[in-house]
Amino acid sequence: MRLTEITFFRWFSLDMSYFFSGHKHDTYEANLVLSGNMNVTVEEKIFELSAGDILFWSPGLFHCNHVGNEKHAEFVSIHFCLEKAGAAEKEVVFHHFNSDDMLLVNMLIGKAEHGGYGENSVALPLLEAIIRISSLNAEIPHFFNDSSAQIYGKTIKLMDDCSITTLPTIPEMARICNVSAATLKRAFKKHTGKSIKKYYNDLRIQYAKKMLLEGKNATQVTENLQFSSISYFSQFFKSNTGMSVREFLSKYK
């Protein structure tokens, strides 16, 4: 195993029902929890992480993060590339670092934040050491295994497998999960803190922001996301972001 590149490094401090709707990419990703508690969904499993825990997984696996009600979490998200002998396997690795081992984690954070994480950075061998330790001492992670977690996992994966304009209806998703629509709604709300409708609206906003920042105009976004009219899209955007499209572009572009 050789770590060849760190492509993303960010420290998050999150409160009060933060929920990242998720994605997948072509690099490994590790979440290192520094304080508090958080849930990480990878494919159809929901892992419970607390301070000192690291969870990392293979490229191409869908994942999302959630900090529950009245909880707080500080964690580092790192995307990286590995050269590994043999055929690539889909894997999720969990390890808990004790207080002494956390010194290595703190060194990594310090070097990456102040010295960067380019190809000559000390952060690379530090992260490689952390990944090696975690792999050699992998433990059985804590994860939700009740029926609501399984329903939620299937639903979130199903939604990820579809494009934003071809999402199944709630009754269709319930039928695929072999549960009633009411049961599906309760499971989704329990594990995300929001309704499926709110989650879907948040997804549309994420896609709309991305398209706008990529240079598409309001007409193109309206058409691509299948809003009924530009005026409805503009109203929808402002009600969900607190900003008009023009204000958003002025602030972020």
Q: Give me the chain's average pLDDT, please.
A: 86
Mean pLDDT of 197-224: 89
Model confidence pLDDT, tens digit, residues 61-99: 888 887 765 567 899 999 999 887 554 567 899 999 988
User: Do 73 and 112 lie in a common domain?
Assistant: yes
pLDDT at 17: 61
User: Do 195 and 233 lie in a common domain?
Assistant: yes
Q: Coil, strand or helix: which one is 186?
A: helix
> Of 19, 21, 30, 29, which is closest to residue 67 (Cα–Cα)?
19
109 — pLDDT class (breaks 50, 70, 90): very high
127 — pLDDT class (breaks 50, 70, 90): very high
- Look up the domain containing 108 and give its range: 2-143
- Select from 94, 110, 143 the last residue of a domain: 143
User: Do 206 and 241 lie in a common domain?
Assistant: yes
The CATH number of whichever domain residue 19 belongs to comes to 2.60.120.280
Q: Tell me if 17 sits within 8 A of 193, measured CB to CB.
A: yes
Q: Tell me if 34 sits within 8 A of 112, measured CB to CB.
A: no
114 — pLDDT class (breaks 50, 70, 90): confident
pLDDT at 9: 94
Model confidence pLDDT, tens digit, residues 38-55: 888 888 788 989 999 999
Mean pLDDT of 191-202: 81
Which residues does 152 contact at the CB level (< 8 Å), separation at least 6? 41, 46, 187, 188, 190, 191, 192
User: Do 112 and 7 lie in a common domain?
Assistant: yes
Model confidence pLDDT, tens digit, residues 137-179: 999 888 777 788 788 888 877 877 777 777 788 898 899 889 9
Q: How many domains does the chain have?
A: 2
pLDDT at 55: 95
Alpha-carbon gap, residue 183 to 179, rounded angstroms: 6
- Select from 83, 114, 143 the last residue of a domain: 143
pLDDT at 86: 53
User: Do 85 and 164 lie in a common domain?
Assistant: no
pLDDT at 125: 93
User: Do 205 and 87 lie in a common domain?
Assistant: no
User: Do 15 and 103 lie in a common domain?
Assistant: yes
- Select from 92, 125, 143 the last residue of a domain: 143
Alpha-carbon gap, residue 173 to 235, rounded angstroms: 28
Mean pLDDT of 20-27: 80
User: Do 105 and 17 lie in a common domain?
Assistant: yes
The CATH number of whichever domain residue 215 belongs to comes to 1.10.10.60
Model confidence pLDDT, tens digit, residues 227-247: 999 999 999 999 999 999 999
User: Do 27 and 116 lie in a common domain?
Assistant: yes
Q: Which has more confidence, 25 or 146?
A: 25
